[in-house]
Amino acid sequence: MRNTMSNKNLPLRVTPLVEARFGLDGGAMFGIIPRPLWGKTNPPDENNRIDMACRCLLVEYGDRTVLVDTGIGSKWSDKERGIYKIHDQDDGLRAALDERELSTEAIDDVILTHLHFDHAGGVSEFADDAETVRATFPNATHWVQRRNWSWANSPSARDGGSYRKLDFGFFETSDDAPPLELVDGIAEIMPGIEVLPVHGHTFGMQLVKVETAEHTFVHLADLIPTSSHMRDPYVMGYDLQPLVTVEEKREVLYEAAKNDWVLIFEHDPKMGCARVEHDERGRPKAVPVSL
């Protein structure tokens, strides 16, 4: 793999960025797992919510800047901010990019793992009139799996609350919306960046694999949202096809251990990056990596 990629213009740097912190119900986040087990690693607050991060990925080529996911964004009422405990935003990605002397205009591509609000919320923002929705990254080509785009536009009654047209509807309704590229299946989006679709969490979610000269990173999206979700039965209650998630997790963790991948946990409140080890009983464990 390394050899065939060596002539390509690979990304130079990969940086995880926390866009926001929020909270979701611990029971929903751990599905069938009893609270005495998950409560040890992820202690809930008085409303049973556990701490969650929105961890995006900045991929820099030198002449090209790519963002993986956009976090929860800013289009939230006070009531919603209370329900989802949205905090620590400090102007979200804009501030994180500022720190790196990058503007939102400088982002060339946005790869969306899927269109759930905690991943695609930051794709758009309110204009100054606080009503019109406009692109946050006006010069970026936005990449999403075609299957996820279709599902997000007509989700089931069960998962409809996770897909907000407010976030992504402007791609169809706004004349000056930036380009939207619909991807079919596994694809190399650009040199060193490949998307790998999985369907257990929702239809057409895509993991993002980024190869640099030093590491292979895989952004796990909601396949394994935190380091506490490594083992087979630790599957979110939100997942549409939990048994498919179990199989997809096994396959990804096997490949990750075999190929020494650095995994990125999108929602882990503390551990951003990890490698995988399996214990003597074959159970996967996240070993933190600092970049």
Positions that interact with Zn ion (CB under 5 A): 118, 222
Smallest separation, CB 267 to Zn ion (Å): 6
Closer of 118 and 211 to Zn ion (Cβ): 118
Closer of 19 and 222 to Zn ion (Cβ): 222
Closer of 125 and 222 to Zn ion (Cβ): 222
SS (H, E, C) the chain: CHHHHCCCCCCCEEEEEEEEEEEEEHHHHHCCCCHHHHHHHCCCCCCCEEEEEEEEEEEECCCCEEEECCECCCCCCHHHHHHCCCECCCCHHHHHHHHCCCCHHHCCEEECCCCCHHHHHHHEEECCCCCCEEECCCCCEEEEEHHHHHHHHCCCCCCHHHCCHHHHCHHHHCCCCCCEEEECCCEEEECCEEEEEECCCCCCEEEEEEECCCCEEEECCCCCCCHHHCCCCCCCCCCCCHHHHHHHHHHHHHHHHHHCCEEECCCCCCCCEEEEEECCCCCEEEEECCC
Smallest separation, CB 91 to Zn ion (Å): 21
Smallest separation, CB 103 to Zn ion (Å): 26
Closer of 51 and 118 to Zn ion (Cβ): 118
68 close to 113: Cβ distance less than 8 angstroms = yes
Q: What does the alpha-carbon distance between residue 38 and residue 177 come to, in Å, rounded to a whole number?
A: 42
Closer of 60 and 159 to Zn ion (Cβ): 159
Smallest separation, CB 127 to Zn ion (Å): 26
Smallest separation, CB 225 to Zn ion (Å): 6
Closer of 118 and 239 to Zn ion (Cβ): 118
Closer of 118 and 248 to Zn ion (Cβ): 118
Smallest separation, CB 87 to Zn ion (Å): 17
Smallest separation, CB 226 to Zn ion (Å): 10
Closer of 137 and 265 to Zn ion (Cβ): 265
113 close to 119: Cβ distance less than 8 angstroms = yes
Smallest separation, CB 85 to Zn ion (Å): 14
Q: Which long-range contacts (CB under 8 A, 24 or more apart) does 243-247 make?
A: 243/200, 244/198, 244/199, 244/200, 245/198, 245/200, 245/201, 246/200, 247/200
